[in-house]
Amino acid sequence: MAGDDSLGRQTVDLLSDALARADLAASAIVFTEVARLHLRGRVDLGMSPERWLRERVSDGLRVIPVTPETAVRASMLETTGFHGDPSLNGTNSCHDVVTVC
């Protein structure tokens, strides 16, 4: 995170602090998108997506599983005209978390 020029200093600091407190989590579905972006050359992880995931989890990132309830809520969001990422926001609503973009 510290070397990412696309994130502002305050965002990097907030994410780093949350990670240090073991208070940073990501939906499992996020890793699909990260891997796709890396494989398409739009994001350079500097390593394989598998290794990147293992290192982030080792750093303390919690991974929130995609549950059947998450899948149902995601589907319901699509029917309401929601224009964000339904899978990610379905996870947010099931686990009372906030997305940082």
| Both tokens assigned to 59 | 């750093």
**What is the token pair recorded at 33?**
């998108």
Give pLDDT, residue 49: 94
DSSP structure class, residue 21:
T
The structural domain count of the chain equals: 2
Same domain, 10 and 46: yes
pTM score: 0.65
Round to whole Å and give the CA distance between 27 and 87.
Answer: 9
Same-domain pairing of 49 and 82? no
One pLDDT digit (tens) per residue for the chain, 101 residues: 445 566 688 888 888 888 888 778 888 888 888 899 999 999 899 999 999 999 999 988 888 888 888 777 777 766 776 655 655 555 555 555 555 54
Can you give the pLDDT at residue 101? 45
Contacts of 1 by beta carbon, 8 Å cutoff, 6+ apart: 7, 12, 15, 16, 19
Phi, psi of 100 (to 5 degrees): -110, 120
Residues 5 and 52 in one domain: yes
Residue 79 belongs to domain spanning = 65-101
Q: Answer yes or no: do 100 and 80 share one domain.
A: yes
Whether residues 32 and 9 share a domain: the answer is yes
Which pLDDT score, from 0 to 100, does residue 46 have? 94
Q: Indicate if 43 and 53 belong to the same structural domain.
A: yes
Same domain, 45 and 55: yes
Q: Are residues 17 and 28 in the same domain?
A: yes
Residue 99, pLDDT score: 52
In the three-class reduction of DSSP (H, G, I as helix; E, B as strand; rest coil), residue 62 is classed as: strand
